Amino acid sequence: MVPLLLGITLISFVVIRLAPGEPVEAMTAMSPKITAETRQRLREFYGLDKPLHVQYATWLKQVATLDFGRSFAPDNRPVTDKIKERIPVTISLNLIALILEFGLAIPIGIFAATHRDTLYDKGITIFVFLGFAVPTFWLALLLMYFFGVKLGWLPISGLHSLGSETLSPMAWFVDLAKHLILPVSVATFGSLAGLSRYMRSNMLEVIRQDYITTARAKGLTERAVVYRHALRNALLPVITFLGFSLPGLIGGSVIFETIFAIPGMGQLFYQGVMGRDYPLVMGILVIGAFLTLVGNLLADLGYALADPRIRHGRG
Amino acid sequence: MGFRESWFHAVFWKRFRGNRLAVAGGCVVLLLFAVSLLAPYITPWDPHAIDAYHVLLPPSTDHWFGTDELGRDVFTRVVYGARISLKVGFVSVGIAVAIGVVLGLVSGFYGGIVDTVIMRFVDIMLCFPTFFLILAVIAFLEPSIWYIMAIIGLTGWMGVARLVRAEVLSLRERDFILAARALGASDARIIFRHILPNALSPVLVSATLGVAGAILTESALSFLGIGVQPPTPSWGNILTSGKDYIEFGWWLSLFPGLAILVTVLAYNLLGEGIRDALDPRLNR
Amino acid sequence: MTARLFCCLAALVTLVSCSGGAPPAELPRRGAGSPAYGDALVVGTIGEPSNLIPLLASDSASHDVAGNVFNGLVKYDKNLELVGDLAESWQVSPDGLTITFRLRKGVKWHDGTEFTSRDVLYTYRVTIDPKTPTAYAEDFKQVKSAEAPDRYTFRVTYGKPFAPALASWGAGILPAHLLEGKDITKSPLSRHPVGTGPYRFKEWIAGQKVVLEAFPDYFEGRPYIDRFVYRIIPDTSTMYLELKAGGLDMMGLTPVQYARQTDTPEFLARFNKFRYPASAYTYLGYNLRNPLFADRRVRQAIACAINKDEIVHGVLLGLGQVAHGPFKPGTWPYNPSVRDFGYDPARAKVLLAEAGWHAIGSDGILTKDGKPFSFTIFTNQGNDQRLKTAQIIQRRLAKVGIEVKIRVLEWASLLTNFIDKRNFDALIMGWTIPQDPDIFDVWHSSKTGPKELNFIGFKNAEVDRLIEEGRSTFDQEKRRRCYWRIQEILAQEQPYTFLFVPDALPVVSARFRGIEPAPAGITHNIIRWYVPKEEQVH
């Protein structure tokens, strides 16, 4: 855990240092009247006059107390504040998409496996891969145009309608849900392929195993075989897949947050990168990777709990 | 090797041919190669020929896919864009595969502390949202096509490394390896003659899917304005420049959009087909 | 005035607030209805404002919002004449060196405190304070002394006559009672401004919107429209779809949207389109320190090789005009008789040959002393028009044997790594054209230092003298002669090749009435815009 955290901070640090020019340059560029003295003060503040490893150590000490410094953007706010106000939006949005992804992809995968090589299977294959293959922003714009402008059924962008503060809690929630339909659909559609294919091959593998053959031989119905015996075992590895999906919870959202004007981490990160807001970029990289790490640990734990072999054997 | 070749013909090819989706994907991929190679013979137009007086013309017999916002022929740009998009796909995957194979082999073959260090590094890299890393590096450097390919490659090797390592671990104690070692073969010889060829099939699958991923990543970068830079046509930047005209200039986004869609789909189907055909467990 | 560099970035993306010269082509079609209070005006902004204290902000999103919250002492009216804003009147001493402002009485800050001369004095002092990181100190530094003899009088004295003096007092006045003695860079006002303007700050939801509400005690009367909402929408395509779906009430159209997408009866029934020349121009500037461009004939040749009509046609779809100098066509400093060389590729080749460039190789690229003629044009990201322009120029120059590469850079890095370090060959950029024609910051040879705005390194003794003369007299006829001569010199010297002045193409939902198109554009009387009761939606 600790070496992983160190590694994460080190890589974030290296990424930032790859950039040409000094962060202070970027910071003062927007205010040309800043004096040489101010610049020197900033250099000292950020420790840029010291050798690299000292800089890293200093920065690390700050990070250890969850202090990522102040943003270089003209608002000059603490990075942690900026991240805090953005994280809930991104995580909840992606969580909904993730739940939908699992809720849809697992049945789809099972269905495809049990109907292997039929037209259904082929149709499903093409459908889920279409979701993966279509450029997100293009699909998003087409849907916005169709449902938002042509049909006028759904709002186009943002999270709330104007004046939503005055709505009743129920109406407020409906309004929010309507805003979420398009972005969540786009995100979910794009991620169906991975999990459903994974589920399909797990299922196929399990079905061929001895105990399933035995179950069949005992004269159980195909339904019972599939759902009582095969499914349980095919579902286990899905927990690992959950671990792999976690970085996407935060990082997969730059494009659709930009296009749907959703104020999340992806958008913030993109702005930070474009504005050379180094403290912000480092902060998001570290926090994003840290959350993923925690998520992975939880997934491992979940796997151990769910799989008796690991619980009793190696674990 | 004789065994492998005959297996290839007898089993792999037969299985692959039986998967019509995969064959279709393969055909599309071959067609794309042909199009990229023959671009100048396919279209009479110059992809950079600007004509300010004929901008945003709808498709016609002269311009099959219409003209873009600078009066260039969209069909021609999509055809030449195939070159760029495929280049991005192949070079970046080549980099990823090279890194992944080397680290995976070393890690699996030597084990111990080497393995631990490499695998921890893989874990760390996997913690980062990949697109964030790509975005940060490319925006801080300059969005040249070489950087884009390099960064996509440098952030995409972890899966390959794990696959190769797993294969190596399963092969390492097998009889033919033990036999080779008993005969006094060097490490390098064992790795390159015996282990690598056997570990390559999952890599092939992963690479095929990786090409598709790289093409999508390039289009996402183009959308953010830091992909392949104009006037060089890539599907990503043609599509991006067309997104403002989705209602009235539909031809500008439809054709590059379809090109990406069909290509990525084809690579995925092809990759899956290869995987199924290679999988010894999936005997019918 | 030094804000011009920053303003230019966004100038061509949303031209709603820019001022113009000619009356617009189209007028509201619906009946007038009767003025009523209520409703909200929703506008889109691509970037989130960074800092709502106008002194500290350099992005147009911040200035757009702050413009409705703060007032200056003076402002430009709809005919682009300077009139009093927070100042009721002013007197200029006969020698032109002293201005005495008589301030309005009874003006309230949004928190209820009375506005007085102390606020003006504070604003002046904090602006010139070297610790304040602002880009707007330059004009105020010409002031020799400033004083506030009583609560409603403010007097400034200049060392020598300074023509842009009066206009410079259009800068937003800050509340001394909330800022004095505190560090302005850490003030909560940057996210929660308190001003004297027609709208007061209500809320700012990060990444989503900034909401202003009508200030009932505004000294010119309560605005009809109750709320002013800035929605943050980072993608231009999304913004346009939002407009069409009714989620936005006002935005600046692109030429393609204006000319090809919005002429449907359905659109015209719901929106009013406006069109007038923007106060901005786009240019190709050469780094004169680069030996490649040291020879005037080379610059002239490039000007000859570029077809400006083609650019206006291709990039603006004709919705703009060719530029010949740094002033706005139709205004008094603009010299209508100045024309540069016009599109003449044959002449370009002759000029290049005279300068020693000859085609040797089979690729047609000109060479001199064994070096090929090749250079890079830089431009900033996010401005589609500039990128298209660069590509058209690239093609045209290839035809006379010059190889051009294009590099599009994100704004901060273009500024830091290339412009500030003078490390570029040529660039395509834009300036907004200020109402006062003083062009000292951009063209005077003393402004070529690091981070200053004459980054191409233009030095011309006659232009220097004319600029100094032009800014140190109040006689418009004398000033006009200076600026007309400057344009002649620039057309010959070609330190920039001036490309075009685009049209501003704002569009406003048809439910808003009271819009009065004028030389200053449409937003000058925004507090008098209204929505008839029966059409209010918010």
Residue C255 has pLDDT above 70, yes or no: yes
Range scoring the smallest mean pLDDT among B86-100, C148-162, C409-423, C458-472: C409-423
3-state SS string for C206-258: CCCEEEEEECCCCCCCCCCEEEEEEEECCCHHHHHHHHHHCCCCEEECCHHHH
Q: Please give the Cα distance from A115 to C133 (Å, whole number).
A: 68
Prediction ipTM score: 0.88
- From the list A25, A155, A163, the residue facing C416 with the nearest CB is A25
For C90, the token pair is: 């002013």
Best of C8, C238, C380, C452 to mutate (most A CBs within 10 Å, chain A): C238
Residue A247 has pLDDT above 80, yes or no: no
pLDDT for position A117: 82
Digit-coded pLDDT (tens) for C184-208: 988 999 999 999 999 999 999 988 9
Q: For C261, name the nearest residue in chain B, comparing CA atoms only.
A: B248
Q: Which chains does chain C touch, 3 or more C-beta pairs < 8 A?
A: A, B
For the CA atoms of A78, A79, A85, A86, the dihedral, rounded to the nearest 10 degrees, stands at 160
Q: CA geometry: angle at A60 spanning A55 and A62, to 5°? A: 100
Range scoring the smallest mean pLDDT among B39-53, B190-204, C455-469: B190-204
Range scoring the smallest mean pLDDT among A223-227, A288-292, C331-335, C369-373: A223-227
pLDDT bucket at B100, cuts 50 / 70 / 90: very high
Q: Please give the Cα distance from A201 to A164 (Å, whole number).
A: 46
Residue B142 has pLDDT above 80, yes or no: no
Specify the length of chain C in residues: 538
Residue A260 has pLDDT above 80, yes or no: yes
Binary contact (A285, B246; C-beta < 8 A) = no
Range scoring the smallest mean pLDDT among A35-49, B149-163, C266-280, C354-368: A35-49
Alpha-carbon dihedral sign for residues B1, B4, B10, B14: negative
The candidate with the shortest Cα–Cα distance to B153, out of B76, B192, B210, is B210
Highest average pLDDT, of B47-51, C24-28, C109-113, comes from C109-113
Q: Please give the Cα distance from C98 to C497 (Å, whole number).
A: 39
Secondary structure (3-state) at A71: coil
Residue C115 has pLDDT above 90, yes or no: yes
Helices of type H across C375-423: 384-399, 411-413
Contact C18, C501 (CB under 8 A): no
pLDDT bucket at A309, cuts 50 / 70 / 90: low
pLDDT bucket at C136, cuts 50 / 70 / 90: confident
State percent of chain B over pLDDT 90: 46
Residue A258: its chain B contacts at CB < 8 A? 223-224
Expressed in percent and rounded to 5, the helix, strand and coil fractions of chain C are 35, 25, 45
In sequence order, which residues have a C-beta less than 8 Å from that of residue B229 and are 6 or more positions away? Answer: B143, B144, B145, B237, C406, C407, C408
pLDDT bucket at C37, cuts 50 / 70 / 90: very high
Q: Please give the Cα distance from C493 to C294 (Å, whole number).
A: 11
- From the list A7, A20, A130, the residue facing B120 with the nearest CB is A7
Q: Please give the Cα distance from B203 to C396 (Å, whole number).
A: 47
Average pLDDT over residues B116-132: 90
Range scoring the smallest mean pLDDT among A144-153, B109-118, C1-10: C1-10
pLDDT bucket at C25, cuts 50 / 70 / 90: very low
pLDDT for position A293: 85
Digit-coded pLDDT (tens) for B1-29: 445 556 666 777 888 888 888 999 999 99
pLDDT for position C339: 87
Residue B264 has pLDDT above 90, yes or no: yes
Binary contact (A134, B131; C-beta < 8 A) = no
The candidate with the shortest Cα–Cα distance to C21, out of C436, C417, C503, C407, is C503
Binary contact (B132, A141; C-beta < 8 A) = no
Contact B245, B239 (CB under 8 A): no
Average pLDDT over residues B94-121: 93
Q: Please give the Cα distance from C419 to C424 (Å, whole number).
A: 7
Q: Please give the Cα distance from B7 to B11 (Å, whole number).
A: 5
Residue C13 has pLDDT above 50, yes or no: no
pLDDT for position C361: 72
Average pLDDT over residues C506-532: 93
pLDDT for position C332: 92
Residue A278: its chain B contacts at CB < 8 A? none
Q: Which chains does chain B touch, 3 or more C-beta pairs < 8 A?
A: A, C
Tell me the C-alpha to C-alpha distance, in Å, between residue C458 and each of A33, C444, C463, C489. 21, 8, 10, 12
Residue B128: its chain A contacts at CB < 8 A? 8, 11, 247, 251, 285, 288-289, 292
Range scoring the smallest mean pLDDT among A255-259, B222-226, C317-321, C412-416: C412-416
Range scoring the smallest mean pLDDT among A247-256, B167-176, C348-357: A247-256
pLDDT for position A40: 66
Residue C127 has pLDDT above 80, yes or no: yes
Q: For B265, name the nearest residue in chain A, comparing CA atoms only.
A: A133
Range scoring the smallest mean pLDDT among A16-30, A239-253, C501-515: A16-30
Residue A226 has pLDDT above 80, yes or no: no
Secondary structure (3-state) at C200: strand
Binary contact (B127, A8; C-beta < 8 A) = yes
Secondary structure (3-state) at C535: helix
pLDDT bucket at A21, cuts 50 / 70 / 90: low
Q: How many CB atoms lie within 10 A of CB A56?
A: 17
State percent of chain A over pLDDT 70: 86
Q: How many CB atoms lie within 10 A of CB B225?
A: 18
In sequence order, which residues have a C-beta less than 8 Å from that of residue C31 and are 6 or more positions away? Answer: none
Residue A313 has pLDDT above 70, yes or no: no
pLDDT for position C10: 36
pLDDT bucket at A296, cuts 50 / 70 / 90: confident
Pairing assessment for the beta strands C506-509 and C426-432 based on DSSP bridges = unpaired
pLDDT bucket at C27, cuts 50 / 70 / 90: very low
Q: What is the mean pLDDT of chain C?
A: 89
Q: For C384, name the nearest residue in chain B, comparing CA atoms only.
A: B241
CA distance C65 to chain B (A): 26
pLDDT for position A315: 34
Q: Which secondary structure element, helix H or strand E, spans residue C507, and what is its range?
A: strand C506-509
Q: For C231, name the nearest residue in chain A, comparing CA atoms only.
A: A158
Binary contact (B136, A15; C-beta < 8 A) = yes
- Cβ-Cβ contacts under 8 Å between A and B: the total is 143
Q: CA geometry: angle at C188 spanning C187 and C193, to 5°? A: 105
Q: Please give the Cα distance from A164 to C205 (Å, whole number).
A: 13
Q: What are phi and psi of B59, to 5 degrees?
A: -55, 140
Digit-coded pLDDT (tens) for A81-136: 999 989 888 888 988 999 999 999 999 999 998 888 889 999 999 999 999 999 99
Residue B125 has pLDDT above 80, yes or no: yes
Secondary structure (3-state) at C430: strand
Q: Does B117 touch chain A (CB under 8 A)?
A: no
Secondary structure (3-state) at C371: strand
pLDDT for position B2: 46
Average pLDDT over residues B227-254: 88
Binary contact (A269, B135; C-beta < 8 A) = yes
Which of the two residues, C414 and A252, has the higher pLDDT score? C414
Residue C9 has pLDDT above 70, yes or no: no
Residue A252 has pLDDT above 70, yes or no: no
pLDDT for position A217: 77
Which of the two residues, A151 and A30, has the higher pLDDT score? A151
In sequence order, which residues have a C-beta less than 8 Å from that of residue B10 and are 6 or more positions away? Answer: none
Pairing assessment for the beta strands C199-205 and C209-214 based on DSSP bridges = antiparallel
Residue A32 has pLDDT above 70, yes or no: no
In sequence order, which residues have a C-beta less than 8 Å from that of residue A248 and are 6 or more positions away? Answer: A94, A191, B129
State percent of chain A over pLDDT 90: 26
Best of C410, C417, C428, C500 to mutate (most B CBs within 10 Å, chain B): C410
Secondary structure (3-state) at C409: strand
Range scoring the smallest mean pLDDT among A300-304, C161-165, C485-489: A300-304
The candidate with the shortest Cα–Cα distance to C93, out of C143, C168, C158, is C158
Q: What are phi and psi of A115, to 5 degrees?
A: -115, 35
Contact C394, C377 (CB under 8 A): yes
